Amino acid sequence: MEALVFILIGLSLRGVIVRLGGVGDALIAFAPAVAAVLAAVLVSRFVWVFSVEALNGALCKLLRRSGAAPDWRSATVTSWAGMRGVVTLAIALSLPDAMPGRDLILVAAFAVILVTVLGQGTTIGPLIRWIQPAHAPETDSRLMTEPQAWARLEAAQLAAIQPLVHGPDGSVIHPRLLEQYSYRARITAAHQLEAAYPADLRTAHYDVVLAAVAAGRTELLRMHRSGHIDDELLTILEHDLDLQEIAAQHARG
């Protein structure tokens, strides 16, 4: 769809050039106005971003709330990242042919996209390396990390099920549940002092889970196609596999 829009703007520009008598005449006719539009687009974004940055800092100071101080480096990168694309083209192309100034709008839209995508888009990397914006602020030390929160949560769950998994005589009547929650509590407690769970361990674990789900889905379809289970049971089991897969993909990240 994006490629089609760019093809349409190219065809429209060709008509503009023909009506004006050639590329040279089109440049002479529209260059001042297009330059003014480009300047307005670029400058207005800097004005807006820096104003919002300053206003946010002033409000945090006025209301005595914690907030990051205005950072001109990050604001510069955000301002320079204002590339335009298909939306600009779509709006320009949607104008009726008889509208006064439509040719200028088409040329200006094309120029804005060309300059922002090729100019700003190709230079934002060097700009970031040059001004070196500050890293994200440190996390509030009063807040728990994800491993700490999970350790507390799993410990609470284990404490809740322990009196429920034992029978009146003290024997374990739900050994699988006790094993599952005990394992999760041990794992989360072991990693609670780390900033985040080891990504390789998390990925490897849920890759195994997803492989098991895929194998179960294959076998389920085989049983259904061979006539060993009916449509209703297929739907029930497939729904359960879907839930397992969604949970594993979400946890894997």
In SS3 terms, the chain reads as CHHHHHHHHHHHHHHHHHHHCCHHHHHHHHHHHHHHHHHHHHHHHHHHHHHHHHHHHHHHHHCCCCCCCCCHHHHHHHHHCCCCCHHHHHHHHCCCCCCCCHHHHHHHHHHHHHHHHHHHHHHHHHHHHHHCCCCCCCCCCCCCCHHHHHHHHHHHHHHHHCCCCECCCCCECCHHHHHHHHHHHHHHHHCCCCCCCCHHHHHHHHHHHHHHHHHHHHHHHHHHHCCCCCHHHHHHHHHHHHHHHHHHHHHHC
User: Are residue 55 and residue 116 in the same domain, yes or no?
Assistant: yes
User: Are residue 231 and residue 193 in the same domain, yes or no?
Assistant: no
Q: Which domain holds residue 228?
A: 199-253
User: Are residue 11 and residue 126 in the same domain, yes or no?
Assistant: yes
Which range, of 15-29, 148-162, 180-194, averages the lowest pLDDT? 15-29
In the predicted model, is pLDDT for residue 103 greater than 70? yes
Asked which of 131, 152, 181 is the last residue of a domain, the reply is 131
pTM: 0.47
In the predicted model, is pLDDT for residue 218 greater than 90? yes
User: Are residue 39 and residue 99 in the same domain, yes or no?
Assistant: yes
User: Are residue 147 and residue 232 in the same domain, yes or no?
Assistant: no
User: Are residue 33 and residue 110 in the same domain, yes or no?
Assistant: yes
User: Are residue 126 and residue 10 in the same domain, yes or no?
Assistant: yes
Residue 138 pLDDT: 53
User: Are residue 184 and residue 242 in the same domain, yes or no?
Assistant: no
User: Are residue 126 and residue 7 in the same domain, yes or no?
Assistant: yes
Asked which of 131, 155, 187 is the last residue of a domain, the reply is 131
Residue 113 pLDDT: 84
User: Are residue 174 and residue 159 in the same domain, yes or no?
Assistant: yes
Residue 98 pLDDT: 81
Asked which of 181, 197, 213 is the last residue of a domain, the reply is 197
Mean of pLDDT over the chain: 83
User: Are residue 53 and residue 126 in the same domain, yes or no?
Assistant: yes
In the predicted model, is pLDDT for residue 135 greater than 80? no
Residue 243 pLDDT: 93
Domain tally, the chain? 3
Task: Determine the average pLDDT of the residues in 220-237.
Answer: 92
User: Are residue 65 and residue 99 in the same domain, yes or no?
Assistant: yes
